[in-house]
Amino acid sequence: MLLLRPLFFTAGVCVSDQIQTPDWVHDAIFYQIFPDRFAKSTPVEKPHNLEAWDAPPTNFGFKGGDLLGVVEHLDYLSDLGINALYFNPIFQSASNHRYHTHDYFQVDPLLGGNAAFKTLLDAAHARGIRVILDGVFNHASRGFYQFNHALENGAASPYRDWFNFHGFPVRAYDAHPNYDAWWNIAALPKFNHKNPQVREFLFRVAEHWVRAGIDGWRLDVPGEIDDDEFWRAFRRRVKNANPDAYIVGEIWQRGDRWLRGDQFDAVMNYPFTRACLSFFIDDISRDLLQEQSYGAVTPMSGEEFARTLTDLLTWYPRAITHAQLNLLDSHDTARFITIARGDPTALELALLTMFCYVGAPTIYYGDEIALEGRRDPDCRRAMIWEPSTRGRAMIVYVKRLTALRKKYAALRRGALTMLYANSKEIAFARHQPGAPTVIVALNAGREPVTLDLRVDRLVENGARLIEEWSREEIVVQDGFARGIALQAREGRVWTTR
């Protein structure tokens, strides 16, 4: 029997009455969809020269996924346990990822246009599924009307102040454009956010789609708009349209600046991603890491992982912490399973942790079938609708986790207490007054272990703990839950009744 030293730490108990985030996010299980790669429908007319669905993705090729294809798979998503969708950009664009926006008020015709989006929104909401969209408000594209007007008319264009031009004529196809552009990429001209007309235009875009029924915005590279008052005004306009709208920013590091209750509700929790990569993957593919974005990924002990998980919960007020968008990978990173060199146990342990951690879990489309993918564009492969044996097993596992999170309020709304940490094992509890306590034990090592967990601060002597899936029972004695057996690379969940 291996007795781990107790590490008691309770997080998520700091409450600020001034900060409010949408209540529904506590219960959300997000699924991220890259529209061109999820599913093709028959009704949406397709042009010729699409890439083959099962061909390796390329930087510029289109595969023909569309929004009615998503509608046709909403029952699949509901059955998986999903109740919130996060879409990469859907507006008219000349790029497959659609971060080069041409028209912010028109859904791309290749995706089915505005009519298809309304069909999707209505069908999703009818199933209790929320929908948030990717908002690209830092930059537009060369095909954006106001930019194109300046390109054609130069200094005579009334839109010349919508962007920061450094002389005319506009050099939009040179290696070094003469205007401010995101990462100096000519195809992505950066808005002049000091221009009141630009600000009003972007705020109207945000309002329009919220009033049309979307449930929030994921903000692309919001840190590039170095103007807190812009985001304060953005929040006021969005929340006036729908106080329950969710605003989450793509921030890769700590996001205090935006999380004081007057800008964003949350950020994408890439520090959590980095911690899971560091602890659960034995043989990591270092060439696939996005370390320039989410920071150095170095091997962690259980003690370091536990400390990181608890530290993350001290960064922000409780309302913000519980609204964080937790994720293991995305369209901007290699897939977790591929970084782990195909080790399904690494993905399973990380998924279990994410579903039992504070904040909203997010599945990047295909993670539920262990879809592989190296760095962009390979991480944007087409969805496989006839998965392998490994993929089918992962679907079963993910369904267990979504059901688990829905079953226990403590996982969605409770505090977290770290119980134990050792070199390869950790255990933590989620608890809430009046609700069953949930204890999660994880063994990232390659040998079986047996743990004795000190739980006297959470569970009374004589109480029974029941393992969620095997139904094995343990009676708490002298403040300990003794004899919790974990196989190599295994996570288990115990609950009170």
Burial class (CB in 10 A: 0-12, 13-18, 19+), 21: buried
**Would you say residue 2 lies in a domain?**
no
Tokens 């034995």 found at: 282
Q: Verify that 384 and 437 share a domain, yes or no.
A: no
Q: Verify that 296 and 345 share a domain, yes or no.
A: yes
Beta-carbon contacts of 98 under 8 Å, excluding residues fewer than 6 positions away, are: 35, 36, 88, 89, 90, 91, 108
Q: Verify that 289 and 422 share a domain, yes or no.
A: no
Q: Verify that 362 and 289 share a domain, yes or no.
A: yes
Q: How many Cα atoms within 13 Å fall on the side-chain side of residue 218? A: 26
Mode of pairing for the β-strands spanning 360-364 and 325-326: parallel
73, 128, 135: which is closest to 104 by C-alpha? 135
The residue out of 382, 412, 442 marking a domain boundary is 412
As a whole number of angstroms, the longest Cα–Cα distance in the chain is: 82
Residue 456 annotated to the active site: no
**Would you say residue 374 lies in a domain?**
yes
Work out the number of other CB atoms within 10 angstroms of the CB of residue 19: 17
Q: Verify that 354 and 430 share a domain, yes or no.
A: no
Q: Verify that 156 and 74 share a domain, yes or no.
A: yes
Q: Verify that 304 and 426 share a domain, yes or no.
A: no
Whole-angstrom Cα distance, residue 460 to residue 444?
29
> Over the range 359-390, which residues count as b (16 or more CB within 10 Å of their CB) and which as e?
bbbbbbbbbbbbbebbbbbbbbbbbeeebeee
Q: Verify that 125 and 27 share a domain, yes or no.
A: yes
> According to the model, what pLDDT value does residue 16 have?
52
**Would you say residue 10 lies in a domain?**
no
Beta bridge partners of 494: 439, 467
Q: Verify that 420 and 452 share a domain, yes or no.
A: yes
**Which is the catalytic residue, given 36, 108, 134, 250?**
250
> According to the model, what pLDDT value does residue 189 have?
99
Q: Mark out the alpha helices in 12-80 (DSSP H runs).
A: 35-38, 67-71, 74-80
> According to the model, what pLDDT value does residue 3 have?
37
Structural domains of the chain, count = 2
Residue 304 annotated to the active site: no
The residue out of 359, 394, 412 marking a domain boundary is 412
Whole-angstrom Cα distance, residue 365 to residue 31?
6
Does the pTM surpass 0.85? The reply is yes
R_g (Cα) of the chain, nearest Å: 24
CATH number of the domain enclosing 431 = 2.60.40.1180
Q: Verify that 46 and 162 share a domain, yes or no.
A: yes
**Would you say residue 5 lies in a domain?**
no
Write out the two tokens for 255: 């996001």
**Would you say residue 376 lies in a domain?**
yes
Q: What is the enclosing helix (H) or strand (E) of 149?
A: helix 145-153
Single-letter amino acid code for the residue at 89: P
Phi, psi angle pair for 306, to nearest 5°: -60, -40
> According to the model, what pLDDT value does residue 294 have?
81
The residue out of 379, 412, 445 marking a domain boundary is 412
Whole-angstrom Cα distance, residue 94 to residue 232?
31
Phi, psi angle pair for 222, to nearest 5°: -65, -25
Q: Verify that 471 and 399 share a domain, yes or no.
A: no
Tokens 């006036």 found at: 240
**Would you say residue 362 lies in a domain?**
yes
Beta-carbon contacts of 183 under 8 Å, excluding residues fewer than 6 positions away, are: none
Q: Mark out the alpha helices in 138-290 (DSSP H runs).
A: 145-153, 196-211, 228-241, 270-280
Residues of the chain with pLDDT under 70: 1-17
226, 139, 135, 225: which is closest to 177 by C-alpha? 139
Tokens 């007319």 found at: 45
Q: Verify that 200 and 144 share a domain, yes or no.
A: yes
**Would you say residue 298 lies in a domain?**
yes
Whole-angstrom Cα distance, residue 457 to residue 206?
46
Beta-carbon contacts of 149 under 8 Å, excluding residues fewer than 6 positions away, are: 157, 158, 159
Inter-axis angle of helices 228-241 and 196-211, to 10 degrees? 30
**Which is the catalytic residue, given 36, 220, 265, 468?**
220
CATH number of the domain enclosing 300 = 3.20.20.80
Residue 463 in contact with residue 475, Cβ under 8 Å? Answer: yes
Q: Classify the C-alpha dihedral 56-63-285-371 as positive or negative.
A: negative
Burial class (CB in 10 A: 0-12, 13-18, 19+), 246: buried
User: What is the SS3 assignment for 420?
Assistant: strand
> According to the model, what pLDDT value does residue 10 have?
53
**Would you say residue 234 lies in a domain?**
yes
**Residue 65: domain span:** 16-412
Whole-angstrom Cα distance, residue 193 to residue 80?
41
